[in-house]
Structure 1
Amino acid sequence: MKAILCAFVSTLILLLNPTSVMAEDSAITLSESTSVYPVREKLLTLKETHDQNPEKLLNSIRYNSDNFAESTKPGRHAYWHKLTLRGSFKDQQPKPFHLVFETHNLRHLSVYLFENNQLIKSSGLGLINNSHSRKPYQGPVFSFNIKAGDELTLLIRKQNEGPLLAPFTIYDEPSFTEHTNFTFFYWGIAIALLVVLALYNTFVYALNPGKTYFWYLVFHSITFVYFSGLHGFGFLIWPHSFQLFIAQNIMPMNVILIWVAAQFAQTFLNAKVHTPSFYRYLKWFHVITPIALILTIILPEYLTIPPFTIYQTAASIFLMSMAFSAWNNGFRPARYFILSWMMVLIGAAIGIATFVHLIPLTTFGLHAFFIGSVAELLLLSVALADRLRYAEKKAITKAYIDPQRKLPNYSFFINEFSSQINPLLENEKSLAMVIVDTLNYQKLVGLLGPNLLEPIYREHIKRLKKLLQSKHWSVKFKHPSGKDEFFITLPGDQLLFLIKPGENLSTKLETLLQVCSEPVTVKDFEVSLDINIGASIVTAEQVSPLDNYRKVQIALLNKPDNKNSWNIYSPEADKQLKKQTHLLYNIKQAIADRDFDIRLQPQFDLYTQQAIGCEVLIRWKHEQEGIMSPSSFIEVAEQMGIISQITQQVIDQTFHWLSVQSNIPPKFIVSINLSTQDLYDVDFIEFINEQLAAYQVAPENICFEITESTVMKNAIQSLNTISKLQSMGFHIAIDDFGTGYSSLAYLQKIQADKVKIDLTFIRNIHISKTNKAITQTIIRLAQAINAETIAEGIESADELMAIKQLNCQYGQGEFWSKPLSTDKFSERYFSNINKERHTTNEHQDTSLI
């Protein structure tokens, strides 16, 4: 930014005509009271023609104060200024004084001191005609002595294509020493600050390499070099020849700085994204810069100043406008970019006012432009740090937004949402956290495809938002981008929002359910979404989002079985869940400790009353609860995906028991229940092969029981596993037939060896016509697919008689025996193969259990 204003400031100074504040008299009286004398007089000025001899020009009648204004403008001519110095002191001791020029880049600057028309001292102070030998460099300084009664004449010759002569100041010895010390201190602070700032941003650039920091460092470096030439402190740090080169090429450096400033602005503001309307014009800087650079090198400075001033002004306005545009488009770091410009403008204004004598001459005023530029670099450094924070925040915001639905996501919910609930509860006694769960979303994705379903889902959100906007009980929170929002999208295609529960939360949930359950139409395509809604009350005492989220999920788990329903969390449901969690822990521990044991219930031929097989049933030997039946833990094990581990223990115990039975009948079949997860397990067949190899049992003596629901959940995988088991020689039975949902086509593909009739149809079959009709249908269906039938749960002679009349072949139940331990079963049925058949009343012998 300073780059664009650097030459502009000089140009304004050159073009301004400071004639309104200076006196006509060019005589200065020096006395004991004179410590610092800023020369503001409108000096007698002579325009040089051919004669450059100071002795001849000393008394020329062509000196005229009207020529002074012309001498302050850029041009190719040299000008002579005449100034009279008078000494007025109390004693005759010579007093040392120093004439200090504040312009450090004049090409030709010579000072001649005359007394009574005699040249008594001269010095070349310009860049080209420098004859001083001050070490270290103190700037253009002409030192002289004057005593009481002296009247000295100063002739100052200045020739430069650019900067003007003024201002300059006369100091006495103490003030000059103080001025010199302050100048070195000022230069030291400036250099140290710029170096530290450069090192800091170089370190940051090393950690975060990128074009923005690169162009800032280039801009910073060129600005540092630029001001070292403009203010002269480069003589302290650069080789003399390099400093002379810099000071004589200020205008080409301005061109380079404008281009670098444009590159920095483009990358810092990310113009392509935040200011696209300005971005397309930035390419012109690449076109104009080489042309302007060549012109400023080959043409005299005074010829390039007018067009270059226009270019600088246009570039300044363009880049400032681009920064304001980026700010208006939400790029907050642009505010520091704009503020840095303001620092340069303020510094430039103070500097101009000082040079044209509108304000008192001070060191601060003389260097205000440089101070403003240092402040600009500091603010740009702050802007870069703010840009990193902005990028980090934007990345976090992006991480908190669902890319498809543009809604806050689960990451936002767990990290940021809690900070928004507390302020909302300041005005409300309680809130309700509501989750809308779309049950059939995944099925619809498979049916319709995501390209069609996603617009449907967005329309679903849109209509729900429209409803909430119309209700006084809706609650808004802040979107990660800062705007108001209702919804958070959650995993599993759930939608979370807050409402004010009031006294009729159920009515509000019913209203929400009605709207969500209405068909959604997009592009003449109508879809009905299966919706369930869960809710939990949020209070100041129970404000944790995750805890309330858990409670809403519990409410959804405990909803009514029908679709399109709602449920509100209750502590009782939580207690039940905690009980299940505790049960799950105990199940896992029981698996590890092998606390599961098998029981065997015999199966009989209904006509011969011989034991033809048995079903393996599982029991859990619980330390506190004792022996637990499968109904108390199997469902939880299936839900949590650990049922396969229990099945493997059952199969291992069963195969081991079979392997040690020497008197087992040849056609005796042991039935083992399989779960859905067993059929899906890709390692299940390998496990069975390992068990066969380990125990050397015959597959023909084993039957695997599966439910019809198990097959239907994933028919292809289930049928594949069943087919492999059958090819290995195992029997397959369909368990609990008639209680699930069946597909006759799948039943035909399974080619089951047996069909087991569920006990719900056997109970009271002798008096229930319905049960008898259903059972008869199942038996006929089994016969149609060449499968044998086994009736489960026979408990009485009447039930046995009724089932025999329907031509069922086999049965099991407590009419014969309750489930027995393996030892009791072996003792009863295998100890003597010719033992009298057990036909009746064994179910009453509780000692066998």
Structure 2
Amino acid sequence: MIFRNVVFFFLLASLFSTQSAFANEYTQKSSDTFPTFKETTPITAQSLLSLDTFQESLYEESQGFSNSAYWHKLTFPKITTESTDKRLHLGISYYIINNLDFYLFHGDELQQHWARGALQTWNAKDESYKGIWIPIVLSEQKETTLLIRKQGHSPLLTPIMLFNDQEVIDKKEQKLLFWTVILCSLIVLLTHNIFVFMLLRQPGYVYYLGINITILVSLSIITGFNRWIFPEEFSQWTTKNLFFVFGIATWILYKFSLSFLKEVQIPTAESFTRRYGDLGFIAFLIATQLFSEQVSASLFALIEVFMFFFCTYWGVKAYNKGFLAVRFYLFSWLTLMLGSIFNTLIFWKVLPINIMTESILPICSLLQLLGFAFAFADKSNYIERKRQLQAITDPSTGLPNRTYYFEKLPLLISKGAHDQPNLALIMVEITSHLKLSQAFGPAQADIALNDIIKRIHKKTMTMDGFLPLPLTGKHTKHLMRLTIRNIVIVSTTPNELKSQIEQIQQVLDHSILVNKAHFRHQYKIGSALYPSQGSNLDKLYQNALIASNTVTYSSGSWAPFTNKLQSNHAHQLRLITLLTDDIKNEKLYFDIQPQVDLSKNKIVGGEVLLRWHNEYLGQISPAEFIPLAEQTGLIYKLTYMIIEKAFQWAAAHSKELTTHTLSINISALDLWQEDFAKRTSQLIQKYNLNAEQFTIEVTETSIFQNNDIVISNVAQLHQAGFKLAIDDFGVGYSSMQNLVSLQTDELKIDQFFVMNLLNNKQSQTLCRNMINLSEELNITSVAEGIESEEILNLLQMWNCQLGQGYHLHRPMTPASYLNLLDPGLSESSHQ
């Protein structure tokens, strides 16, 4: 960047010094008007010389757009012997005239003819690249006359300037130096930019290269250099189609602007200019081929105004959005438009043509190319900063992410260790995201989740006591999003932790609208203290996560970390590891608890109860390992294992079980598996069993929602012949909804109500009503947890159909269950 600034300064200095070197006296010898003749019919220079039809009043007309040819006449008296200036040199600055002829006469004798038009073959190659210089040798005997014939669609000819021999040498060298600096600078800059493009391949850079090339071509046309740096055919074609070339250059600049400002989505994809801009330029290019140069010039002036307004507007809008790279873009754009507008004003004769006005466009062109180069450097820095910001922020919310937590946050904490030695990490897990995805689709679920996270952040920004998290661009946040549903906040006032969490809970407890339905997020909050409960951020997050995982729907939504939770968590991790191994090795087994028809006091079936005895930990309760299996996804393997074991055993004892049913427990999560019913049906066919003998019990305490997968599984299970039952009815979620969704065949009343029947009137009321509900719905009522004769009598009195419990039969091995069913054995009494 320093090197570019030095080059930039040097070029400016050299350009203006070159310009000032030949500005002196350049216009002092020019005339305001010349005698002019309008050619209506073809005429030779020799014939015109003898006619006295030149009028200065026609000069102004000759400088505008016209299809006619105009002649100008310059007359010089004969010189004396003592005269020092025997030869003058005529110089013309503007070169885009199709046919331009100079005829030098001494008296009525033609001395020389020069062709200098843009579409002519010049007859003085040695003077070509230095411009149009016509040597006028003055006569001592006769009057010297110079006739100039101009024909073409372009306006202007003047200023016409005269110099002596010494002056013209200086002027040629100075002018050559000026244009050499301009064109060489453009070529060097173009070469440099090609190498930059090859290295960076930055989007939009190809348009910038196109701008470089078209500006080089445009300036070469204006200065006449196109005749010597391009082939003759191409040079003449560009001269004939000057505004077509200008249109291409402006179109490329338009495309460059769209590409450059794409980072900030300006203009938007739906905007009128983005959708129809290309069509407008195509229409203009076609118009340049159909209409006169004057019409093309008028249309191009409108395009310049359009581009000036919109590109400036876009640039300012992008800058206001924080896209600082647009600074040099605006400078370059305004500089180029300034040069183009000045050049147009010259073309329309609003400004006179002189070295000052003639130099504006090439200098502005060079400045804008340099400016665009700086703009690209700025944009590259912006993109790099944006890339770095994206690496440490969540794309959906703009909040710091996991990378920020582990890479940036430690530095912030170490810097503030002296002022804030004690901190607290608050971890919020929004657990309802999966339910929302299943109910409304992942897109709506993500929108709802992002919305609640932004609301929490907005709330925390109004609160004191949270660690500020600086981002690029002087933005400060309070929240970090570590996973899709986990956010963390660092409290700098652990003594106010309870109050802070309560305010966060108020935001979370507020219902929101999702697809016109009111919804309240479910969540769990865990917290851990720094440094007493975690000396590094990894340990701190781990402990906050452990605390949040202990939250249950009956214990509240926040749990602070304690050392006891740590030991429990370690124990759970060991359980998960051992359970995984024992499932793989099929070391789990089942017992059966008989189910009794309460009206006949007869065993009609049994419930398959999963059991686990580990060689290291001994017997482990299902209440301990089944929730862990649901949390870790092991529940699916566990379910298929116990189903197959039960089917395999039933197939081996099909004769003994002909008139008895078996109930097998599954998790509600199993019904979310697309192929659950299909696999279960395949197993029943594999063992050649009758599905009507089996009841699938779904644990009611699991969160259940009605969706297509569940409906399909339920329908397939019923179609195969299985009965479905709701286990632990009354203590979970949406019980009535589940009765309908599962097309329930059995309702199992939870033992919580049954065991309290003797001393709790509410339990009696609820239990009786559940039995009546089953009767009304024509489904079987089953009471769990019958542990006394008095409870049994009450249930019989209320017409409960089936029952199980320790008072009837304890769980037993499959072999003992078969012995119980065998009529040859002694009937088992109530235990």
Which category describes the TM-score, using the shorter chain as reference length? 0.5 to 0.7
Q: 1:534 corresponds to which residue?
A: 525
Amino acid at match of 1:758: Q
1:409 equivalent in alignment to 2:400? no
Does the alignment pair 1:335 with 2:327? yes
Unaligned segments of structure 2, at least 5 residues:
1-19, 50-55
Secondary structure of 1:567's aligned partner: strand
Gap change, CA 1:391 and 1:803, over 3 Å in 2 = same
Q: Name the counterpart of 1:567.
A: 559
Q: Which residue of the partner structure matches residue 12 of structure 2?
A: none
Question: 8 Å contact 1:606–1:811 — kept in the other structure?
Answer: no
Supply the AA of the counterpart residue of 1:236.
W
Residue in 1 that maps onto 2:72: 78
Q: Partner of 1:132: helix, strand, or coil? A: coil
Conserved 8 A contact 1:596-1:619: yes
In structure 2, give the amino acid aligned to 1:225: V
State the one-letter code of the partner of 1:297.
Answer: E
Aligned to 2:751: 758
Deviates more, 1:194-203 or 1:102-111: 194-203
User: How far apart, CA to CA, are the structure 1 residues paired with 2:321 and 2:545?
Assistant: 38
Structure 1 unaligned spans of 5+: 1-17, 24-37, 58-65, 89-95, 359-364, 844-849
- The residue type paired with residue 706 of structure 1 is E
Structure 1's 135 and 535: CA in aligned 2 closer, same or farther, altered over 3 A? farther
Identify which of 421, 425, 428 aligns with 1:435: 428
- State the distance in 2 between where 1:459 and 1:47 align: 80
Q: CA RMSD in A?
A: 7.3
* Distance across 1 between alignment mates of 2:75 and 2:562: 98
Q: Does the CA contact (< 8 Å) of 2:524 and 2:548 recur in 1?
A: yes
Q: Is 1:274–1:331's contact at 8 Å kept on the other side of the alignment?
A: no
**1:636 equivalent in alignment to 2:628:** yes
Does 2:129 align with 1:138?
Answer: yes
664, 689, 693: which one aligns with 2:685: 693
The aligned amino acid for 2:627 is E
Among 614, 636, 656, the residue aligned to 1:622: 614
CA contact (8 A) 1:166 1:355 kept: no
The code of the aligned residue for 1:138 comes to Y
For the Cα contact (< 8 Å) 2:667–2:699, is it kept in 1? no
Deviations 1:463-514 (A, max 9, x none): 8677545533356657899766666789888876665434321122234435
For residues 398-547 of structure 1, the aligned pairs below 5 Å read 408-409=396-397, 413-414=401-402, 421=409, 425=413, 426-427=415-416, 429=420, 430=423, 432-433=425-426, 435=428, 437=430, 468=460, 470-473=462-465, 499-514=491-506, 517=509, 529=520, 534=525, 536=527
Report whether the alignment pairs 1:834 with 2:821: no
Distance 1:461 1:98, change over 3 A: same
Identity of aligned residues (%): 16
Distance 1:295 1:680 in 2: 71
Query: Paired residue for 2:648?
Result: 656
Q: Is the 8 A contact 1:711 1:719 kept in 2?
A: no
Give the Cα separation in 2 of the matches to 1:142 and 1:681.
90
Residues 43 and 83 in structure 1, CA contact (< 8 A), matched pair in contact too: no
**Which amino acid is 2:401 matched to?**
F
Amino acid at match of 1:618: L
The structure-2 alpha-carbon separation of the partners of 1:431 and 1:222, relative to structure 1 and needing over 3 Å to count, comes to same
How far did residue 643 of structure 1 move? 2.6
Check 1:200–1:74 CA distance in 2 against 1; reply closer, same or farther (3 A cut). Answer: farther
Contact 1:434 1:499 in 2 (8 A): no
May I ask how many residue pairs the two structures share in their alignment? 755
Contact 1:556–1:567 (8 Å) recurs in 2: yes
- Partners of 1:21 and 1:816 lie apart in 2 by 118
Question: TM-score, with normalisation over the residues of structure 1?
Answer: 0.62
What residue is the counterpart of 1:26 in the other structure? none
Relative contact order, CA 8 A, sep 6+: which one is greater? 1
Give the deviation of 1:633 after TM superposition: 1.4
Residue aligning to 2:215: 223
**Structure 1 residue 584 corresponds to structure 2 residue 576:** yes
1:440-478, Cα deviation, whole Å (9 max, x unpaired): 99799989xx99x99999998898677545533356657
CA–CA distance in 1 between the matches of 2:681 and 2:506?
A: 54
| Larger CA Rg, structure 1 vs 2 | 1
Match of 1:676 among 668, 691, 694: 668
Shift of 1:119: 10
Query: Is 2:130–2:172's contact at 8 Å kept on the other side of the alignment?
Result: no
Residues 1:694 and 1:118: Cα distance change in structure 2 (over 3 Å): closer
Q: CA distance change for structure 1 residues 327 and 570 in 2, over 3 Å: closer, same or farther?
A: same
Q: 1-side partners of 2:678 and 2:114: how far apart?
A: 104
Aligned mate of 1:326, from 317, 325, 328 = 317
Displacement, 1:162? 2.0
Asked if 1:236 corresponds to 2:224, the answer is: no
Q: Deviations over 1:307-337 (max 9, x none)?
A: 9999799678646753554345438454333
CA 1:319–1:164 in structure 2 vs 1: closer, same or farther (change >3 Å)?
farther
Per-residue deviation at 1:596? 1.8
> 1:584 Cα deviation (Å)?
3.4
Partners of 2:403 and 2:334 in 1: how far apart?
39
Equivalent position amino acid for 1:78 in 2: H
Native 8 Å contact 1:98 1:173 kept in 2: no
Counterpart of 1:60 in structure 2 is none
Give, in angstroms, the shift of residue 229 of structure 1. 2.0
The amino acid of 1:224's aligned partner reads L
Q: Residue 259 and residue 559 in structure 1: after superposition, are their counterparts in 2 closer, same or farther (change >3 A)?
A: closer
Cα distance, 1:138 vs structure 2 = 3.4
CA deviation after TM superposition for structure 1 residue 137, in Å: 4.8
Counterpart of 2:13 in structure 1 is: none
Task: Give the distance between the partners of 1:699 and 1:44, measured in 2 at CA.
Answer: 112
Q: How far is the alpha carbon of 1:228 from its aligned partner?
A: 2.1
CA contact (8 A) 1:235 1:243 kept: yes
Give TM-score scaled by structure 2 length.
0.63
